[in-house]
Amino acid sequence: MAILTSLISLLQATLPEQGGALSAVDWARAQFALTAIYHWLFVPLTLGLGLIMAIMETKYYRTGSEFWRRTTQFWQRLFGINFAMGVATGIILEFEFGTNWSNYSWFVGDIFGAPLAIEGIVAFFMESTFVAVMYFGWDKVSRGFHLASTWLTWLGASISAWWILVANSWMQYPVGCEFNPDTMRNEMTSFFDVALSPFAIDKFLHTTISSWIIGAAFVVAVAAWYLLKKREAEREMALKSLRIGAIVGLIASIGAAITGDESAYKVAEVQPMKLAAMEALYNGGTDVSLTGIAAINPFKQPNYKEEKEAPLRLSIPNGLSILATRSLHGFVPGVNDILNGYTKADGTVEPSAKEKMQRGRTAIEALAAYRQAKTDGADEATVAPLLATLKENMPYFGYGFIKDEAELVPYIPVNFWAFRIMVGLGSLFILFFAFLLFLDWKKKGFLAPSALNTELSTFNKATLWVAIILLPCAYICSESGWLVAEFGRQPWTIQDMLPVSASVSDISAGAVATTFWLFLILFTTMLAVEINIMLKQIKKGPQL
pLDDT in tens, 299-339: 999 999 888 888 888 889 999 999 999 899 999 999 999 99
CA 515 to CA 520: how far, in whole Å? 8
Higher pLDDT, 85 or 156: 156
pLDDT of residue 19: 42
Q: At what angle do helices 24-63 and 2-13 cross, to 10 degrees?
A: 140
pLDDT of residue 407: 92
Determine the average pLDDT of the residues in 326-355: 89
Determine the average pLDDT of the residues in 493-516: 88
Determine the average pLDDT of the residues in 42-66: 93
For the cut 80, the answer to whether the pLDDT of residue 9 exceeds it is no
For the cut 80, the answer to whether the pLDDT of residue 457 exceeds it is no
Residue type at position 69: R
For the cut 80, the answer to whether the pLDDT of residue 232 exceeds it is no
Q: Which residues contact 265 (CB under 8 A, 6 or more apart)?
A: 323, 324, 326
Determine the average pLDDT of the residues in 228-255: 90
Higher pLDDT, 6 or 53: 53
Furthest-apart CA atoms within the chain: distance in Å: 91
pLDDT of residue 454: 60
CA 479 to CA 4: how far, in whole Å? 13
Half-sphere exposure in the Cβ direction for 153 (13 Å, CA): 28
User: Within 10 A of 300 (CB to CB), how many other CB atoms are there?
Assistant: 12
Pairing of strands 342-343, 349-350: antiparallel
pLDDT of residue 309: 87
pLDDT of residue 97: 84
Query: pLDDT tens digit string along 28-48?
Result: 988 888 888 888 888 899 999
pLDDT of residue 10: 34
pLDDT of residue 96: 85
pLDDT of residue 184: 86
For the cut 90, the answer to whether the pLDDT of residue 456 exceeds it is no
Q: How confident is the model at residue 93 (pLDDT cuts 50, 70, 90)?
A: confident
User: What DSSP assignment string belongs to 265-329?
Assistant: HHHHHH-HHHHHHHHT-SS-BSSPPEEEE----TTS---TTT-SS-TT-EEETTHHHHHHHSSTT
pLDDT of residue 250: 96
For the cut 60, the answer to whether the pLDDT of residue 18 exceeds it is no
pLDDT of residue 139: 86
Provide the whole-model pTM: 0.88
For the cut 60, the answer to whether the pLDDT of residue 128 exceeds it is yes
pLDDT of residue 80: 87
DSSP one-letter code for 120 = I
Q: Which of 100, 215, 254, 270 is nearest to 475 (CA)?
A: 215
Average pLDDT, the chain: 87
Which of 82-86, 208-212, 347-351 shows the lowest per-residue confidence on average (mean pLDDT)?
82-86
Query: pLDDT tens digit string along 252-283?
Result: 999 999 999 999 999 999 999 999 999 999 99
Higher pLDDT, 235 or 71: 71
For the cut 80, the answer to whether the pLDDT of residue 446 exceeds it is no
In 3-state terms, what secondary structure has residue 376?
Answer: coil
pLDDT of residue 146: 92
Residue type at position 311: P
pLDDT of residue 6: 36
For the cut 80, the answer to whether the pLDDT of residue 449 exceeds it is no
For the cut 50, the answer to whether the pLDDT of residue 347 exceeds it is yes
For the cut 60, the answer to whether the pLDDT of residue 17 exceeds it is no
Query: pLDDT tens digit string along 464-481?
Result: 999 999 999 999 999 999
Q: How confident is the model at residue 517 (pLDDT cuts 50, 70, 90)?
A: very high
CA 175 to CA 194: how far, in whole Å? 6
Domain ranges within the chain, ordered by starting residue? 27-100+509-544, 107-159+175-196
Query: pLDDT tens digit string along 378-435?
Result: 888 888 888 999 999 999 999 999 999 999 999 999 999 999 999 999 999 999 999 9
